Chains A and B, each alone.
Chain A
Amino acid sequence: MSIIHVQDLSKVYRIVEKDPGLAGSFKALFRPRYKDILAVDRISFTIEPGELVGYIGVNGAGKSTTIKMLTGILLPSGGAVRVLERDPYQQRVPNARDIGVVFGQRSQLWWDLPLIESLNFIQRIYEIPPASFKRRLDEFAETLELKALFGTPIRNLSLGQKMRAELAATLIHDPQVVYLDEPTIGLDLLVKERIREFIKAQNRQRNVTVILTTHDLGDIEEICQRVIMIDAGRIIYDGPLSLIKARFGKFREITLETASPIGLFALPTGAEIVQQADQRLTLRFDRTVTTASQVAAAIMNQLEVADFSLAEPDLASIVKQIYSGALHA
């Protein structure tokens, strides 16, 4: 039995178009001109209990609109959502009891009060039985290393500590589905690693279903088995991470700046041009075929290179490549 069921889900925002100025506002008040914006366009997927799903897309792709419909904040314009056999919008309160949400940078903790106060407060709101609350606290004290932080006001916590506290607050009522919006944004590598481990462990031990939205492909790589990729409101990929990884994980991009305008040159083996400007060249190469130093050396033999940098392909470029048919090639 799937835990989340999404069928032809759409969301249309209707906005009023206004002419500038006071006259425009008045006109909009009496004879409004509407413009429909399709944020989510007939998407469908199902998620099974215990799945770890990465829901990814560039900014404005429709990620957060989807999450808001799944959590019951927004009413869908078309199609159907079922989460745990419920309509999350119509049955908002029962749904809220069974889900946990981390909203990226927006904390649910009381800034001025010690962490434990916020957790006590959440216990009250979710009516968590004292025994299981205590058990969870002890557990998080260990796994999230919060023991020393319970008495510290949130304002005195570091960014990483805050996110750990946030996760504790989100999971303490033992939700069956957890939505994590950018849980590792702005954190350093070590902290990221710890948070990823924790999420995986929660999933393993309690069979929590996790839906993770992120820009950070590292998160996806570490945590998720499955990826749903959305762009311009449509799902452009839904499948195992391994396929994406096989396709894009082996690529690196090298960008070179030259001292003089780029003339003719021979492309090193295993590399292809992504972008070429007057004095700037970006190449993509397959790591399994060649290495960065080989590519760089081959170019430097031909051109006068002033500077160069190396990068993994980012989400935006992957999306672009999927569009151009990279997955079918």
Chain B
Amino acid sequence: MLRRYTSLYWFFLIQRFKILMEYRLNFFIGLTSTIFLQAAGLLGIWVIVSQVPDLNGWTLDQVLLIYGLLTLAKSINHMFADNLWVIGWGYVRPGGFDRFLVRPINPLFHLLADRFCHDGLGNFLVGAALVIVSSINLHLVWTPLNLLYLIVVVISGGVIFIALNLITATSAFWIIESIPVTQIVFNTHEFARFPLTIYPKAIQLFLTILIPYGFASYYPATQILGRDPGLLAWLPPFVALVLAVFSYRVWLFGLKHYGGTGS
């Protein structure tokens, strides 16, 4: 099962790149555009935080590490699950979603695999660059164990992003135009660009329990930087797992509703 889907995904990916190579210029523009957009925001943070000794006890490089972790997690979502944004007007309304249902594969897999979004590669590059540069400046030592931790938390962060988008995207089965719903929940990730301690307790709790983007950036950063991490720094994979299972349940519920009403 897993092998079949892995090889299928790989096949989807190759097809996608064949299409992208038909429009080579668009490919590079998509890639660089995300880098440019990130650069404008990052330049702003750099300009400000470099002028103060620290941000609530976090140095510029530490803040950039948090930002980098978040951007890496976001890029996973951007690359592999961007189609969740357009499920309503791209698939449900025009009826393309029916095609997924008459094929002998999982419709969610089909939806996600249908479009690998190369723009996300730009985010990945920005995130990776931030983590590398900040860890050099912070003289972080990357032992194999640390590296493993980094990989696990980045993937967990990506899963958290995808799961939250999946929950909101499922609303398309009822209201078709799901983008506003997704956008609102998705945008709360902007809180997690900075150390959560700059916010009041309520917002911290919100980002830990309700919409747990904190596990995609801040909590792992406390572990990587050895800043009194505590238990929460070990939770990202579990949070991701729980959220993934829950979001898939929500998706199945939406699918059932679709089976009841059609488009």
CB distance from B12 to the nearest CB of A (A): 8
Residues of B within 8 A of A (CB): 4, 7-8, 11-12, 15, 18-19, 22-23, 94-96, 98-99, 101-105, 256, 259-262
- A126 to B, closest residue via Cβ: B104
Task: Count chain A CB atoms within 10 A of each CB in B95, B101, B261 and give the residue with the most.
Answer: B101
**Chain B residues, CB < 8 A from A75:** 256, 259-260
Contact A13 B19 (CB under 8 A): no
| A99 touching B262, Cβ below 8 Å | no
Docked complex Cα distance between A112 and B101 (Å) = 23
Question: A73 touches which one: B11, B23, B104, B262 (CB < 8 A)?
Answer: B262
Interface residues of A (CB under 8 A from B): 13-14, 65, 68, 71-75, 89, 92-94, 96-97, 99, 101, 103, 106, 108, 110, 112-113, 117, 121, 124-127, 153
For residue A153, which residue of chain B has the nearest CB?
B22
Contact A74 B102 (CB under 8 A): no
Please judge, given known A-B contacts A75-B260, A124-B8, whether A99 and B102 are in contact too, CB under 8 Å.
yes
Extra inter-chain contacts (17) besides given A106-B94, A108-B99, CB under 8 Å: A13-B262, A65-B262, A68-B262, A73-B259, A74-B260, A96-B102, A103-B98, A106-B96, A106-B99, A112-B22, A121-B12, A121-B15, A124-B7, A124-B8, A124-B11, A125-B103, A126-B104
If A106-B96, A121-B15 touch, does A73 touch B260 (CB 8 Å cutoff)?
A: no
Q: Which residues of A contact B11 (CB under 8 A)?
A: 121, 124
B19 near A96: Cβ-Cβ < 8 Å: no
Most buried by A among B94, B256, B262: B262
In the bound complex, residues from chain A placing their C-beta under 8 Å from that of B96 are 106
Is A96 touching B98 in the complex (CB atoms < 8 A)? no
Contacting residues, chain A, for B262 (C-beta < 8 A): 13, 65, 68, 73-74
The answer to whether A101 touches B102, judged by C-beta atoms less than 8 angstroms apart, is yes
Q: Report which residue of A73, A96, A110, A113 has the largest number of chain B beta carbons within 10 angstroms of its beta carbon.
A: A73
Across the interface, which residues of A come within 8 angstroms of B8, CB to CB? 124-125
Dominant secondary structure at the B interface = helix
CB distance from B124 to the nearest CB of A (A): 24
Q: Nearest-CB distance from B103 to chain A (Å)?
A: 6
Distance to closest chain A CB from B29 (angstroms): 17
- Taking the closest CB of chain B, its distance from the CB of A232, in whole angstroms, is 18
Residues of A within 8 A of B105 (CB): 93, 125
Asked whether, in the complex, the Cβ of B104 is within 8 Å of the Cβ of A96, the reply is: yes
Pair A92/B101 contact, Cβ less than 8 Å: yes
- Which of A72, A99, A112 has its CB near the most chain B CB atoms (within 10 A)? A112
Q: Does A72 lie within 8 Å of B102, measured CB to CB?
A: yes
Identity of the chain A residue whose Cβ is nearest the Cβ of B18 in the assembled complex: A113
Say which residue of B94, B104, B259 sits within 8 Å of A97 (CB atoms).
Answer: B104
How far is the CB of B66 from the nearest CB of chain A, in Å?
A: 38
> A124 to B104, alpha carbons, bound, how many Å?
11
Is there an interface contact between B95 and A103, defined as CB atoms closer than 8 Å? yes
- A190 CB to nearest B CB, Å: 29
Q: Using known A-B contacts A74-B262, A106-B95, determine if residue A117 contacts B102 with beta carbons closer than 8 Å.
A: no
List of B residues within 8 angstroms of A106 by Cβ:
94-96, 99
| B19 contact set on A, CB distance < 8 A | 110, 112-113
Q: How far is the CA of A101 from the CA of B262 in the complex (A)?
A: 17
- C-alpha spacing A93/B107, complex, angstroms: 10
Q: How far is the CB of A79 from chain B (nearest CB, A)?
A: 15
